[in-house]
Structure 1
Amino acid sequence: MASPRPLKRRRVSTADLLAHPATTAPPTSPPPDPQNDPLLTHATHVLATEAAALAHITTLYLTFPPARHSLRTAVHCILSSQRAGGRLIACGVGKSAYIAQKLTATCKSLGIAAGFLHACEAVHGDLGDIRGERDVLLFVSYSGRTPELMNLLPHVPVGTRVIALTGHIEAKECLLLGGFKEGGGILLPAPVVEREVVSFGIAAPTTSTTVALAVADMLALTVAGEMHGGRMGEVFTRNHPGGAIGVEGRETTRKQRRRKRKGGEEVVVPELPTPCVSASDDG
């Protein structure tokens, strides 16, 4: 009697496994409840606190006449300086210095002549960046009394207009502006409803720097809008040809550069990405 043939084994593919998953799948734990997860509760508390601070500063500039007047004065002061060939010099120390650097970089990309001045380096030779009446010096300091900035005041060239972006809502409360006659210094309010030590149990600049950054962006974009009007986007695209933003700007506004030959015939020349484009540069 012939022995039975062995059954052929069929190779199991990935498609088979997906189509017929194992009936004994490993147990999975239920997703954590956000309402009872201390980590998520703490994290979202930070976001909610900073969002509330931004809502508050928006309301301040919408409804508080001194803040609205200060913003108008600051914008016109910077515009006058730009038309006279001057620059906006943003100055700070610590975390506020990073806000000042961001303001400077944003202004440059928007066609506003600007520079960053570190408060500590200023008294070691960098004061040469400030050229007197043509320039506007903008201090970034939540307290408005940062020692490095206060020590700089006696050395600021005579005639230089000074703006202070601080947590105060009235100029008379800001020590950085205390040495100026009424109207001589300009306050840009950037207060927070609740200090970080109360919100988070630590005094690390977080909510205050978020608000300061937002006010700085407001100032830069408002000045640029007054300077360039409807051409602001064109100015930005011209000044930012690199990175993902540069590529997107070229594709959106002008995918192809056109030129005319001597005979008047129009030729399409494809515009290629600049060599400076890299995967790590999105901004």
Structure 2
Amino acid sequence: MEPGPPRKRQKFIVEDDEAREEDADEHLPTPPASDCDVENAESRMLKRATKVLATASAALDHLTQLYDNDSSIRQNFTAAVDAVVAAHHSGRKLIVCGVGKSAFIGMKLAATCRSLGIGASFMHACEAAHGDLGDVRGGDVLLFVSFSGKTPELINLLPHLPQSTAVIVLSSQTKAADCPLLAGRGDNGLLLPAPIPESEEATFGVSAPTTSTTVALAVADMLALSVAEKIHQENKQSVFKRNHPGGAIGMDHREVKKLKKDGMKVSILELPSPSISAEDSC
């Protein structure tokens, strides 16, 4: 017999043995993670989590310095406050408009204004193009919330606004000339800068609005409280309490203590808040 065939069979046997050894290695149980590994994983997770807080804090510090030291930004903010106050005194209102995550910031701004006795409403950018522009009246102030300052749904509304409509834009730009939403508005356009020192993608590896919405919300609150101060002055607390009778905020602690002292059982009824359905998205 030829010696070749047995050697060939032997080679196949060796290869089969190696394959079986590899299969056996693949099915070996994974060793359980040690307590040290778990602790290290949790530590890394918490470090990443608190980085979100530190980043937001740094962004707010940067924003404070901007509004403290930039005279042009300070003048724009004062002019924005005056525009909303003038609209309020003439029986008009602030209309806040946005889309996406910025829409939620806009909703919060409008809701805060109403609770402080300032006429305000929210107009979703998508619905605005389908009839809600009818809510805009002469003398109203329209405030766009858009981090980029060039959101298409907002840009598309500009040709349909009366030229006399005062427009305020809350965006990441620091100069009105750099904000597309203010192009051609002239004296009827005001910028409220809400920049962040570093993009969310660079900081967190994802461009989801996080730091930018935190900063936008802070500027929105600053505007609402400044307008309320100018309109109501020392009466702003009583106006707020009149408009917010529900919940824990509406229940004065001294009144609660007095009622309890009189032997009455006091409980605060929390009504469910309406949810925002998917139909509200663009």
Give the Cα separation in 2 of the matches to 1:145 and 1:252.
Answer: 49
Give the Cα separation in 1 of the matches to 2:238 and 2:134.
Answer: 32
Give the Cα separation in 2 of the matches to 1:173 and 1:112.
Answer: 30
Runs of 4+ aligned structure 1 residues displaced above 2 Å come to: 32-36, 250-257, 269-274
Residue 277 (structure 1) shift: 2.5
Task: Give the structure 2 partner of residue 75 of structure 1.
Answer: 81
Give the Cα separation in 1 of the matches to 2:264 and 2:181.
Answer: 50
State the secondary structure of the residue aligned to 1:138: strand
- Asked whether 1:126 is paired with 2:132, we answer yes
State the secondary structure of the residue aligned to 1:188: strand
- Aligned residues of 2:73 and 2:174 also touching (Cα < 8 A): yes
State the secondary structure of the residue aligned to 1:278: coil
Task: Give the structure 2 partner of residue 135 of structure 1.
Answer: 140
Give the Cα separation in 1 of the matches to 2:99 and 2:39.
Answer: 42
Give the Cα separation in 2 of the matches to 1:124 and 1:273.
Answer: 47
State the secondary structure of the residue aligned to 1:237: helix
CA pair 57-109 structure 1, distance change in 2 beyond 3 A: same
In structure 2, the gaps of 5 or more residues are 1-34, 274-282
CA pair 230-41 structure 1, distance change in 2 beyond 3 A: same
Task: Give the structure 1 partner of residue 239 of structure 2.
Answer: 235
Q: What are the Cα deviations for residues 12-64 of structure 1, in whole angstroms up to 9, with x where unaligned?
A: xxxxxxxxxxxxxxxxx79x878981100110111101110011101100011
Task: Give the structure 2 partner of residue 87 of structure 1.
Answer: 93
- Asked whether 1:200 is paired with 2:192, we answer no
Give the Cα separation in 2 of the matches to 1:34 and 1:233.
Answer: 49
Residue 231 (structure 1) shift: 0.8
Task: Give the structure 2 partner of residue 261 of structure 1.
Answer: none
Give the Cα separation in 2 of the matches to 1:271 and 1:177.
Answer: 57
Give the Cα separation in 2 of the matches to 1:124 and 1:279.
Answer: 32
Residue 251 (structure 1) shift: 3.1
- Asked whether 1:179 is paired with 2:181, we answer no
- Aligned residues of 1:35 and 1:41 also touching (Cα < 8 A): no
Residue 256 (structure 1) shift: 7.6
State the secondary structure of the residue aligned to 1:157: coil
User: With structure 2 as the length reference, what TM-score do the two structures score?
Assistant: 0.78
Task: Give the structure 1 partner of residue 109 of structure 2.
Answer: 103
Residue 157 (structure 1) shift: 2.4
Taking only aligned residues, the RMSD between alpha carbons, in angstroms, comes to: 2.7
Task: Give the structure 2 partner of residue 51 of structure 1.
Answer: 57
Give the Cα separation in 2 of the matches to 1:187 and 1:167.
Answer: 9
Give the Cα separation in 2 of the matches to 1:192 and 1:222.
Answer: 22
In structure 1, the gaps of 5 or more residues are 1-28, 258-268
Give the Cα separation in 2 of the matches to 1:251 and 1:70.
Answer: 39
Give the Cα separation in 2 of the matches to 1:273 and 1:180.
Answer: 54
Q: Paired residues, what number?
A: 237
- Aligned residues of 2:113 and 2:120 also touching (Cα < 8 A): yes
**Letter aligned with residue 71 of structure 1:** F
Residue 253 (structure 1) shift: 7.5
User: With structure 1 as the length reference, what TM-score do the two structures score?
Assistant: 0.77
- Aligned residues of 2:169 and 2:181 also touching (Cα < 8 A): yes
Give the Cα separation in 2 of the matches to 1:34 and 1:226.
Answer: 52
- Aligned residues of 2:199 and 2:207 also touching (Cα < 8 A): yes
Q: What are the Cα deviations for residues 59-113 of structure 1, in whole angstroms up to 9, with x where unaligned?
A: 1000111111111000001111111110000000000000000000000000000
Task: Give the structure 2 partner of residue 264 of structure 1.
Answer: none
CA pair 195-69 structure 1, distance change in 2 beyond 3 A: same
Greater fraction helix: 2
